[in-house]
Amino acid sequence: MAETSNTEKKASSQSSSLLSKHVQELAINEDEPPQRYIRKDRDREAPIDPSLSSSVPIIDLRLISSPNSSTQQKQDEIGKLKSALTSWGLFQAIGHGIPSSLLVELHEMAKGFFDLPMEEKKKYAMNKDGTQNYLEGYGNDLVISEEQTLEWSDRLYLLIKPKDERKLNFWPENPSRFREVLDEYSLKSNLLAEFVLKVMAESLGLEDDYFLKQIGECGTAFARFNYYPPCSRPDHVYGIKPHADGGAITLVLQDKDVEGLQVFKDGKWIKVPVIPDAILINVADQIEIMSNGMYKSPVHRVITNSEKERFSVAVFYLPEWEKEIEPAAKLISESTPRLFRKIKMKEYGDVFFQKTTRGIRAIDWARAKTA
Ligand SMILES: O=C(O)CCC(=O)C(=O)O
Ligand SMILES: [Fe+2]
């Protein structure tokens, strides 16, 4: 277990002053974001490189999945995917087979939920008792210390897989089609994640079900609906602070109009452009570990906007809690020594939560000790 300081113990036991408010309430009631939302890292700010946005990789999955593609087309696109994940750790997937109408509906469900009166949304509020790391429901990150910089976003966080572990009491009944649409999206998103995990394994010369087996049939998936209200000081307040995701892979449906997501690459921040109907797929820490560092789990952040609100839906795929994750033996050699230790997902999850909340990368804790 991760160490916990006294301040943090107090915070997670009850201190209500450390429970953050819904940002939507702040955005409506106060002109200036409170001090606890103001970034402390502006003096260490890396530059934004506008010229590289158009280079964020785009992969047409249809070229890989379609029986009508030639072997050459398929190999070329897998090569592009490999190069995208080696250098960026992400790509925008097009030709992914999820109908545009479903993506539009999912976006409408997100907007419809966050537009509900606060009292209605609070029916689905997270239980912030601090006893569990993966808190489902409507709320924000758990606040574990006074120093933590808070984020300008509200969330609805729901386990979608395994299906029999869903806690439907957190699934909104309003908008009336919310549950149905999320169920449909989960089905499609799970298939897409499976397909991509297979292609990723194949691209590294592993058995195509290598990652799926490591993740396990009962690997979990969480959908996170993110809502970023307009913020009067976008330069000083993060929608989500820099972080990498802790699971295996993440699928993100970005807002259809409003940009905000940025990825850190070679010392610079790069805006991820909005491409209609694309789904952003990013490597998360467990794939970086299993691929022995070949595929990178990218650091990314979300910037706020002074005028426009923004919605996104991220689905995080995680290995089963009891799985022990380590680099694939095939990817360890004299020239590519083992970079990471073997760690149980449950243990990684605990450490990930503690570190990420403080803005520290968890994967560094998983590195193998060099002799
Ligand atoms: O809002 C986005 O575009 C990305 C969200 C994200 O990085 C996350 O939920 O982990
Ligand atoms: Fe993320």
Atom of ligand 1 nearest to the CA of 301: 7
Q: How far apart are CA 38 and CA 20, in angstroms?
A: 14
Q: Is the peptide bond before 33 cis (omega within 30 degrees of 0)?
A: no
Q: Give the mean pLDDT of 328-345.
A: 98
Ligand 2 mean position, distance from CA 300 (Å):
6
* pLDDT value of residue 27: 86
Mean pLDDT of 195-215: 98
Token pair, residue 280, equals 């952003």
How far, in Å, from the CA of 98 to the mean position of ligand 2?
Answer: 21
Residue 6: pLDDT band with limits 50, 70, 90: very low
Coil/strand/helix, residue 342: coil
- Mean of per-residue pLDDT scores for the chain: 91
- Smallest CA-to-CA distance from 348 within 262, 267, 285 is with 285
Cis bond leading into 175, ω under 30°? Answer: yes
Residue keyed to tokens 């990825």 = 263
For residue 226 and ligand 1, the question of a CB distance below 6 A is answered with yes
Q: Is the CB of 223 under 6 A from ligand 1?
A: no
Q: State residue 3's pLDDT score.
A: 40
3-class SS of residue 261: strand
Please state the separation of Cα 73 from the chain's center in Å.
30
Query: Cα separation of 178 and 184, whole Å?
Result: 10
pLDDT band, residue 4 (cuts 50/70/90): very low
Of the listed ligands, the closest to the CA of 227 is: 1
Q: Is the ipTM of this complex over 0.85?
A: yes
| Cβ neighbour number for residue 124 with a 10 Å cutoff | 21
Pairing of strands 137-139, 154-161: antiparallel
CB 178 within 8 A of CB 109: yes
Residue 300 per-residue DSSP state: E
Nearest to 317 by CA among 142, 159, 82: 159
* pTM reported for the whole predicted model: 0.93
pLDDT band at 7 (very low <50, low <70, confident <90, very high): very low
The CATH superfamily label for domain 6-366 reads: B-lactam Antibiotic, Isopenicillin N Synthase; Chain (2.60.120.330)
pLDDT in tens, 65-122: 999 999 999 999 999 999 999 999 999 999 999 999 999 999 999 999 999 999 999 9
How high is the pLDDT of residue 26? 86
User: What Å distances lie between residue 236 and 24, 146, 231, 273, 312, CA to CA?
Assistant: 17, 18, 9, 22, 21
**pLDDT interval class at 369 (50, 70, 90):** confident
Percent helix, strand and coil across the chain, each rounded to 5?
35, 20, 40
How much is the average pLDDT of 251-278? Answer: 97
pLDDT beyond 80 at 8: no
> In sequence order, which residues have a C-beta less than 8 Å from that of residue 38 and are 6 or more positions away?
149, 233, 236, 237
Res. 127: pLDDT tops 90:
no
